[in-house]
Amino acid sequence: MRLKIRVNLHKTEDIPFNYQYQMHSALYSLIRKSSSEYSAFLHDTGFIDEKKNLKLFTFSKCYFPIRKLTKYGFSKVNNFELFFSTPIEKSFEHLILGIFSDQTLILQFGRRQISCFIENVETLPIPKYSKEMTFTCLSPIAIACNDDNYSGKHYLDYMKPDEKPKFVEGIKSNLMRKYRIIKTEEYTRTDDCEFSFDPEYIVKRQGKIKKNITFKDNRIIAMEAPFAIQANSELIKIGYECGFGSENSAGFGMVEVVKSERQK
């Protein structure tokens, strides 16, 4: 289930590059307007698998049609669009109800508050899934792992030869974990899962597909490029609905279909 949300600001504002935490909090606030109990469940507990707490929703970058870039962020913003996706019906319903309770979205940057009016909400059609699909990123993809060489959480860099296989394996294991939660059963199929970012795009970008994003006090490294994936269509569907990779509820891993096997 996927929404396209169009937002107008009450006045022209400057928005810093790192706004994902503020948008994450704003979406929780919308859900809380419908159900404070369900919002608390998502935030504090979520859906647990092997001690991993997943929220099973994701959202895109904000798309600013009118803005000016500065070294600090986006200047003179007066409207934007973003996308929200989840396979969990309750999350979808409570967000919708929260939106229509007063159609206000608040981004809080320290003492500065940006008030936005939600002008339009559109439910998007469900794509046709196949075992081989191509996607473009609506938000960058992060893969977190625990590495003894690093203190705390480490984010894998697809462009490093020694980390690329781990990144691809992280995509697969993350999809299988989400499958276990959503389907309440183990993923037992033996299909291979192949994943690769578009090499032509990487060459065009001179290998610069890495994004460094600060989420609250955490620095997250993520990759942003078109990619192809071959896997069971159920896993691909889960990636499309929940987001690919880690930190989906922080605004990572949301994608849009470019091409599927059936569209060739």
**H helices then E strands: how many in the chain?**
6, 16
246 in helix, strand or coil?
strand
- The whole-angstrom separation of Cα 99 and Cα 91 is 12
Q: Give tens-digit pLDDT for 102-131.
A: 899 999 998 999 999 999 999 999 999 999
> Per DSSP, what are the bridge partners of residue 16?
73
Residue showing tokens 């993350």: 174
Rounded to the nearest 10°, the torsion over CA 123, 229, 63, 126 is -10
Q: Give tens-digit pLDDT for 211-264.
A: 999 998 899 999 999 999 999 999 999 999 999 999 999 999 999 998 655 444
Share of the chain above pLDDT 70, in %: 95
Tell whether pTM > 0.85. Answer: yes
Q: Give tens-digit pLDDT for 145-180.
A: 876 565 568 999 999 999 999 999 999 999 999 999
Query: Domains in the chain, please, with CATH?
Result: 2-123 (3.30.70.1890), 132-263 (3.30.70.1900)
- The whole-angstrom separation of Cα 88 and Cα 242 is 9
- The whole-angstrom separation of Cα 109 and Cα 254 is 24
CA-based nearest residue to 248, from 122, 95, 142, 100: 142
